[in-house]
Structure 1
């Protein structure tokens, strides 16, 4: 199976990419080479060619083993979580479930993507005040903030 590397930028703020800066995941402008690395992810799902698959968004460059995770203890904030080092099978299964998303057509723009939580099916990855959350989306503004465009990976490095 091919590695599906990508970067994601906001549909309504096209200069702003999802970026993992030391565990804090936001949308931001790419200003440095480190930003390019931190805005490159791997989709673990089956395909980016068709909607409907489930998978995780995992850092595609070092350090390995981190995924985008819904931090229920932090108001459903999206954070980066080191999941590969979890040794308790029940905890690991819960973290993976809270880090798995359905890749689907965005309601506001069906040619673009939204990521709906598997663990919390009424919540989507969306940005609010340049911060990522998993939240329900209903208004046009919320739907727009849950819409992302897939871009080629900003950084080509492999582990």
Structure 2
């Protein structure tokens, strides 16, 4: 079971390039048609350097480019079969656009037992910076670990 000793545990940073072709594939997959995400000219007309990434793309980009996408589960000895997705949050501080190279730095922010120990909520927060070192976003994901019942 994950306990408080996991709080502030850091994991391997992930570097990912916001490649326009992969971004278009993601947009097609989710059915996103907003020109600010698809068209550099439309994005520039709105004051951005290039096409923007949609909010949830950061989560996908971090997972796709990680050498070990579930490193935190392995490191915390969490069985993937016992994991449920709780929630995710994205806080943006600066635009993220096609062509950016991002660095994701994840850490365990909190561990909370619920339902008398039947489940544990683990919050992993990730700081995201761009190629110039600008802190562009923070992401947060909460996973629910269904704990094994004592024998």
Asked which structure has the greater CA Rg, the reply is 2
Q: Same fold (TM over 0.5)?
A: no
- Structure with the larger RCO, 1 or 2 (CA within 8 Å, 6+ apart): 2
Tell me which interval the TM-score lies in, with the shorter structure as reference length. Answer: under 0.3
Higher share of residues assigned strand: 1
- TM-score of the superposed pair, with normalisation by structure 1: 0.23
